[in-house]
Structure 1
Amino acid sequence: MIKTTYKLAIGLTLSVYAHAALAETTLTFADWQVPAASTTREAAKVFMDKATELSGGEIAFDYFPAEQLGKGGEMLRLLQTGVADVSHVSPAYITDKFPLTTVAELPGMPLDSCALANGIYEMAQPGGALYEAEFEPNGIRLLFAGNLGPYSILTTETPIATLADIEGLNIRTAGGPMEMTATELGANAIRMTGSETLPSLSRGTLDGLLWPVPLVEDWGLEEALNNVTPNLSTGSFVVTYSISDSTWDRLSETEQVALLEAGKYATEHYCGFVNQTWAESLEQLETVHGIQPLDLPASELSKAEERFEQVHEQWVEGLAGRPVSSQVVYDQFREIANR
């Protein structure tokens, strides 16, 4: 909830660290990501610090990570009910509300994190197809767009040398197109949030997961995993920080501009970070934690690409008949992402 305050406080852990600044407006920011996650450090913190800087100290944040205010699938509701002013809304967790925004999560899209982020950011601005289709009807405005980079297949016991090795495995997905991708590859797709993943791997409920390589250590999954398939991207996961329209309308023009510029800045910063750290993280998983990389041969990659095309067609067909055409969204996104 928006409130007046005289202290700028941003909690990146359960404790709060304070900035010496006088703030006229404090925004409650709800995030489901854990404090150790790269999105927390390189996206949320960057966004908040920049907004405070650009507003001359007028904007402050009370930041609640790690599902303190609600789980990943509840972030939109927190905005709509006024519990939070800004939140980390993940389309894959609420595909009934944001099905078209998951276009950036389709497999076989450009591997450049910035290309995917820019596509969502541009199309979710007022006048854009995604804004008109999903953000405006849900009463929110996108400030930041990002993604967690290419998702790889990581397994506990079974190395993936061919696509046949995936068949029948219980594989965690975040939902949305990722679930369609795992199913098309022959796995048993199990949708669950990030916080549920480690216990399921440890109990053997999961044989593996679709997950971004740089976030394996952030979530403490490295001890439960033994294999990774680095040269097959099974899609990505969209990250958005959005503000409720009711909060937005109460802000001054100066504060609105500061939030918009901070969102642009953080969008560019975070996608660059993702692009830079992927290879470094893969090496870390192998050399430090013994997670063995095994590339699929070219013949298997070709088979995967054919199956991914099926996922694309299913996505477009499954979302046909909406006021904003799924084909239009798909075509526009691919055009922007491939510039």
Structure 2
Amino acid sequence: MKRTTVALGAILTAMVPATLTAQEVTLRLSHWIPPTISPATKGVDPWAASVMEASEGRIEIQIFPAQQLGRAPDHYDMAKDGIVDLSWVNPGYTAGRFPIYAATELPFMVEDSIEGAKAIHEWYMEYGAEQEMSDVKVCFIHPHAPGALHTQETVTGPDGVSGKNVRPAHATMARFVSLLGGGPVQVPAPEVREALSKGTAEAVTFPWGSMYDFNLTEEVPVHLDMPFYISAQVMVMNKASYDGLSDENKAVIDDHCTPEWSGRVAAGWHEDDMAAKDKLLADDSQTFNTPSEDEVAAWREAAAPLTEEWKEAVSAKGGDADAILDAYKAKLEEYGAAY
């Protein structure tokens, strides 16, 4: 049976009749991380393998890692415009574009990333996806285990960020660094080590596993041990590519675009993050600092303006910010994921 490549939006969609029941297709999936690190090996790759297995060979997924097909900040538009069929997106790389989703970027909100992934999926599909990502199909949403602040010298309270250049995880964290008197250095994850080694940045907000994924243990060996933030990535699919599938193949994709799959993908990344943290704890060259209760309270107080700014951004787009944020917090509580 002839295999059809689905890409480039409606042009190729016309070549793939939706009524074809035994349709074989090849989907191009792009992401921007090295193929050997946990988000790929424990997240994207198993998900793609499961899709192919569940389709009994009708769906083949070709994976293009490490920005081969485009820069990290371009991945949402790559899927939207049909350059690829599927892409793994960090919405935080495009400041202001997804204001509702940016609630996931607010610090000190999530403690359990696995249950948090399910909570975020359910919340966003109800309160934000149709408003902000209606031009793609949202498949799954998954954060890493709560990330930390990694520095070259001890920082336990928010005053310690003042005067430091920090590579933030996303736009909200960049704003937080600015509020604290630091300078945000915004580069994609694969470029962080270069920024640190050249002195462009002195600290980074990153998941635990990234210390090894990007070889940063010598650059920033001091770690603030608290659930500082999450960055939740999204797998999205070009709508024309999805619409061009047979009903049989659509069902396979739908079965892999669920809160349960969000949790499953997050679990693999969480496992590797926790293993990396344990390895760091056992390394005498690494320093861990736990903030006091007063310091935790100071961090929360320092972050309060971020919530108000988030509300203003959502309200400016016509959203009921209080209701949306209350729903987000309630969903995290429902799943036992709140910090």
Fold-level similarity (TM above 0.5): yes
Q: State how far apart, in whole Å, the 2-side matches of 1:154 and 1:132 are.
A: 36
The percent identity for this pair of structures is 21
2:229 corresponds to 1:235: yes
Alignment correspondent of 2:18: none
Alignment correspondent of 1:38: 38
Alignment correspondent of 1:19: none
Unaligned runs of 5+ in 2: 6-21, 335-339
Larger mean CA deviation between 82-91 and 186-195 belongs to 186-195
Secondary structure at the counterpart of residue 29 of structure 1: strand
Alignment correspondent of 1:17: none
Q: Are 1:230 and 1:294, in contact at CA under 8 Å, matched by a contact in 2?
A: yes
Alignment correspondent of 1:10: none
Q: Are 1:159 and 1:227, in contact at CA under 8 Å, matched by a contact in 2?
A: yes
Unaligned runs of 5+ in 1: 6-21
**Structure 1 residues 179 and 116: alpha-carbon distance in aligned structure 2, compared to 1, 3 A threshold:** farther
The Cα shift of 1:310 comes to 2.6
Q: How does 1:38-187 map to 2 (within 5 A)?
A: 38-125=38-125, 128-136=126-134, 139-156=135-152, 158-187=153-182
Query: What per-residue deviation string (whole Å, max 9, x for no partner) do you get for residues 105-164 of structure 1?
Result: 111212111243123312343xx221221111xx101111101221211012x1114332
Q: How does 1:192-207 map to 2 (within 5 A)?
A: 192-207=187-202
Alignment correspondent of 2:8: none
Alignment correspondent of 2:10: none
The Cα shift of 1:258 comes to 1.0
Secondary structure at the counterpart of residue 104 of structure 1: helix
Q: State how far apart, in whole Å, the 2-side matches of 1:118 and 1:152 are.
A: 21
The Cα shift of 1:313 comes to 1.9
The Cα shift of 1:210 comes to 0.7
2:275 corresponds to 1:280: yes
Alignment correspondent of 1:244: 238
TM-score, scaled relative to structure 2:
0.87
Secondary structure at the counterpart of residue 213 of structure 2: coil
Query: What per-residue deviation string (whole Å, max 9, x for no partner) do you get for residues 273-308 of structure 1?
Result: 344444432221243472211112222111111122
Matching residue within 252, 256, 263 for 2:257: 263
Secondary structure at the counterpart of residue 266 of structure 2: helix
Q: State how far apart, in whole Å, the 2-side matches of 1:322 and 1:261 are.
A: 32
Q: State how far apart, in whole Å, the 1-side matches of 2:59 and 2:23 are.
A: 6
The Cα shift of 1:84 comes to 0.2
Q: Are 1:23 and 1:60, in contact at CA under 8 Å, matched by a contact in 2?
A: no
How many residues are treated as equivalent by the alignment? Answer: 315
TM-score, scaled relative to structure 1:
0.87
**Structure 1 residues 205 and 151: alpha-carbon distance in aligned structure 2, compared to 1, 3 A threshold:** same
Secondary structure at the counterpart of residue 299 of structure 2: helix
**Structure 1 residues 30 and 277: alpha-carbon distance in aligned structure 2, compared to 1, 3 A threshold:** closer
Larger mean CA deviation between 216-225 and 39-48 belongs to 216-225
The Cα shift of 1:23 comes to 8.0
Larger mean CA deviation between 66-75 and 105-114 belongs to 105-114
Larger mean CA deviation between 187-196 and 269-278 belongs to 269-278
Runs of 4+ in 1 over 6 A off after TM superposition: none
AA matched with 1:247:
S
Alignment correspondent of 1:301: 296
The Cα shift of 1:337 comes to 1.4
Larger mean CA deviation between 102-111 and 316-325 belongs to 316-325
Q: Are 2:144 and 2:207, in contact at CA under 8 Å, matched by a contact in 1?
A: yes
Matching residue within 311, 314, 322 for 2:306: 311
Secondary structure at the counterpart of residue 33 of structure 1: coil
Q: Are 1:73 and 1:93, in contact at CA under 8 Å, matched by a contact in 2?
A: yes
By relative contact order (CA 8 Å, sep 6+), the higher-ranking structure is 2
Larger mean CA deviation between 219-228 and 40-49 belongs to 219-228
Q: State how far apart, in whole Å, the 2-side matches of 1:168 and 1:267 are.
A: 38
AA matched with 1:234:
F
The Cα shift of 1:206 comes to 0.6
* C-alpha RMSD over aligned residues: 2.0
AA matched with 2:155:
I
